[in-house]
Structure 1
Amino acid sequence: MYDFVVVGAGPAGSRFARQAADAGYDALVLERGRVGTPLACSGHVSTDIWAFTPDGAREHLLQNEIYGARFHVGGPDSPEHPFYKDTVVSNVIDRVGLDRTLARAASDAGADVREDHSVTDVDEHGEYVDVTASTPDGTETFRGKMVVGCDGPVSRVRRELGLPEPGEKLQGVLGFAPDAHSGNFVDVHLTAPRFFAWRIPRGAAGVEYGLAAPPGRNVRDLFDRFTAEYDVETDRLCAGMIPIGPPPRVTAHRGFLIGDAAAQTKPFTGGGILYGMTAADHAVRTVDPDDPGTLADYERAWRRDLKNEIRLGHWVRRAYSLPESVQTVGLRALSGEIGVHMDRPSSFFSTDHLRKLLRRA
């Protein structure tokens, strides 16, 4: 019997499995297809990512360094409102490569990582949990002391455990233009309903275009109009759901959720790679697979760490729905050099950022 059966080999699942294995636990990871595919997430992350990856990962995953963002209330020809630093703000990485690197690190640490295992059933019992998966050879049931749902926004584990859904799920789509682009600013367009569209230079890997919006909108049509404004044709189109707003509970009797399955994401960007891996570390430190009572410790730990950032992120997102005239005035007033960390909205109130605002006053 395994200590943990982890469902999903994305960043959250692989990080948890690696850390759990390092801590001496037996961890099994079940991935429904091949690790890293299909791509459904952007690879624009803060530089904090490298603290979660094995040595040498930066050398083969880094595609571009970003120094800031240009915000637009309209399309590409609308006025730009730049926010920037004189040092690197964020990195653009090989997103598929990240998943594979983290899964390999989990395997190297001793976790049992299995691809082409699609979970179909989860049964909690008093002392253990049975996880059944469809495999190329039929079906197989695995027994563990705990099941860990790291299987994304449409989580099978969440549904099987009867846990509540995230506050909302946005629909996202992204595509790539193959022409190399060496720019080091991303473009953010506040033109999608209640969210935004983006353009990310990926160096030799081309340019990424993306857009997200609430359900009920024709996201593909919005995306096509957005890329038409840039006069580009994209290929390798990818689509996925973005969970926003963690549910009131992400733990059951012998199971718990991490990452997108728990909606541990930034409400103002939808990104969840760093938040999910941060929560994974909290889970390894707090959860004893022999004691279901420790799941409450996990709930407290990750919420204590991320609660304020997520709450402030909701307030930032509200600005996306303000009248265009108000957005323009606000962007004009706040643009310039910043001292803000892209994963921590609370850094808006940091001494460094406030000092930069006062310089412009």
Structure 2
Amino acid sequence: MHDFVVVGCGPAGSRFARRASEAGYDVLAFEQGTVGEPLACSGHVSTDVWEYAPDGARADLLQNEVSGARFHLGDADSRAHRFHKDEVISNVIDRVGLDRALAAAARDAGADLREDHTVLDVAEHRDHVTVEVRGPDGTETHRARMVAGCDGPKSRVRRALDLPEPDELLHGVLGFTDERDAGDFVDVHLTVPRFFAWRIPRGEAGVEYGLAMPPGHDVRARFEDFTDGYGVETDRRCSGLIPIGPPKRVTGRRSFLVGDAAAQTKPFTGGGILYGMTAADHAAREIDPTDPATLGDYERAWRDDLREEIRLGHLVRAGYSFPEPIQRAGMRAFEGEIGVHMDRPTTLFSREQLRALVPSLR
């Protein structure tokens, strides 16, 4: 019997599989198709991502470096508000390559990671779980002490075990062009209902355009209008769901959720790579597969780490729906040099941000 079965090998699942294997546990992991495919997530990440990636990954995956953002409100001809640092804030990366590098690191650590295996059902029992899987050789049933649901917004593990759903699911669309752009600013457009659209320069790899909104809107039509405003036509389009708002419980009797399955994402951007891998590390440290009581330790650990970031992230997102005059006043008050971290809204109250706002303190 395995210690853990991991369902889903995106960043959160592969990170947990790696860390649990390094801790000496027997880990079996399943990915429905090929790791990293189909692409359904932006490749704009904070520089902290390299702390979680294997050695040498940055040289292989980096596409561009970003030091600021232009925020656009209302009319396309109106002045953009610029926010920047005198250093690199974030990186644009090969997103598919990141998933594959993290999966390779999990395998190198000893995890048995199998692609082209679709999980059909999961069941909890008194002292183990069973996971029914369809692979290239037919249907199999595996036993483990615990199961980790790292299988995204529409998590089969979450639904099979009747764990609570995220507060909200946004619908996102991505598209790409081949135009070369090594600019160091991303563009953010607060011109769609309750979220935003974006343009990200990816150096020699082209440009990424994206948009996300709550259900009930014609997301694809909005995306067409957005890219038309730039005078471009995208190809290689993809779409996906973005979970916002973790449920009150992400653990069962012998199960736990990590990453998008647990809605461990930033409410103000929808990004979940760093939060998901952060939670994966907490799970690997706290959970003993022979002791279900340690699932509560995982719940406490990841929430203690990310609770304030997520709470403040909701407040930042609320500003996207403020009337435009209020948005402009706020933008004018803060634009220019900043000291915030793109994954940590609590840094709005940091010494670095205070020094950025008050030049005499530098």
TM-score, length-scaled by structure 1? 0.99
Map of 1:297 onto structure 2 = 297
Q: Aligned partners of 2:321 and 2:360: how far apart in 1?
A: 26
Structure 1 residues not aligned, in runs of 5+: none
**Which digits, 9 at most, give the CA deviation of each residue in 1:24-66, with x for residues without a partner?**
0010110000000000000100000000011000000000000
Q: Indicate whether 1:276 and 2:302 are aligned.
A: no
Q: Indicate whether 1:133 and 2:133 are aligned.
A: yes
How far 1:174 moved relative to its partner?
0.5
Q: Indicate whether 1:109 and 2:123 are aligned.
A: no
**Percent of counterpart pairs with the same letter?**
69
Map of 1:51 onto structure 2 = 51
SS in 1 for 2:238: strand
Map of 1:183 onto structure 2 = 183
Q: Aligned partners of 1:91 and 1:245: how far apart in 2?
A: 25
Q: Aligned partners of 1:75 and 1:300: how far apart in 2?
A: 45
SS in 1 for 2:78: coil
Alignment of 1:210-249 (within 5 A): 210-249=210-249
* C-alpha contact (below 8 Å) 1:244/1:263 kept by paired residues: yes
Map of 1:95 onto structure 2 = 95
Q: Indicate whether 1:324 and 2:308 are aligned.
A: no
How far 1:78 moved relative to its partner?
2.5
* C-alpha contact (below 8 Å) 1:76/1:230 kept by paired residues: no
Q: Cα distance 1:75–1:52, how it changes in 2: closer, same or farther (>3 A)?
A: farther
Q: Aligned partners of 1:142 and 1:332: how far apart in 2?
A: 57
Map of 1:152 onto structure 2 = 152
Q: Aligned partners of 1:75 and 1:85: how far apart in 2?
A: 26
User: Residue type matched to 2:237 in 1?
Assistant: L
Q: Cα distance 1:120–1:360, how it changes in 2: closer, same or farther (>3 A)?
A: farther
Map of 2:170 onto structure 1 = 170
Q: Aligned partners of 2:360 and 2:79: how far apart in 1?
A: 19
Q: Indicate whether 1:203 and 2:203 are aligned.
A: yes
Map of 2:306 onto structure 1 = 306
How far 1:355 moved relative to its partner?
1.6
How far 1:359 moved relative to its partner?
2.5
Task: Give the total of aligned pairs.
Answer: 361
Alignment of 1:339-354 (within 5 A): 339-354=339-354
SS in 1 for 2:191: coil
Q: Cα distance 1:285–1:138, how it changes in 2: closer, same or farther (>3 A)?
A: same
User: Residue type matched to 1:251 in 2?
Assistant: T
Map of 1:39 onto structure 2 = 39
**Which digits, 9 at most, give the CA deviation of each residue in 1:68-121, with x for residues without a partner?**
100000354331101000000000000000000000000011000000111110
Map of 1:30 onto structure 2 = 30
**Which digits, 9 at most, give the CA deviation of each residue in 1:222-263, with x for residues without a partner?**
000000000001011010000000000000000000000000
How far 1:360 moved relative to its partner?
8.8
Q: Cα distance 1:75–1:105, how it changes in 2: closer, same or farther (>3 A)?
A: farther
Structure 2 residues not aligned, in runs of 5+: none
Q: Aligned partners of 1:226 and 1:332: how far apart in 2?
A: 24
User: Residue type matched to 1:62 in 2?
Assistant: L
Q: Aligned partners of 1:283 and 1:36: how far apart in 2?
A: 22
Map of 2:7 onto structure 1 = 7
* C-alpha contact (below 8 Å) 1:75/1:189 kept by paired residues: no
Q: Aligned partners of 2:36 and 2:360: how far apart in 1?
A: 44
CA-based RMSD of the aligned residues comes to 1.0
* Ranges of 4+ aligned residues in structure 1 off by more than 3 Å: none
Q: Aligned partners of 1:76 and 1:47: how far apart in 2?
A: 30
Q: Aligned partners of 2:29 and 2:232: how far apart in 1?
A: 39
* C-alpha contact (below 8 Å) 1:200/1:208 kept by paired residues: yes
Q: Aligned partners of 2:360 and 2:338: how far apart in 1?
A: 11
Q: Aligned partners of 2:324 and 2:137: how far apart in 1?
A: 56
Q: Indicate whether 1:259 and 2:262 are aligned.
A: no
* C-alpha contact (below 8 Å) 1:7/1:150 kept by paired residues: yes
SS in 2 for 1:250: coil
User: Residue type matched to 1:145 in 2?
Assistant: R
**Which digits, 9 at most, give the CA deviation of each residue in 1:317-352, with x for residues without a partner?**
000000111111111121000000000000000011
Map of 1:285 onto structure 2 = 285
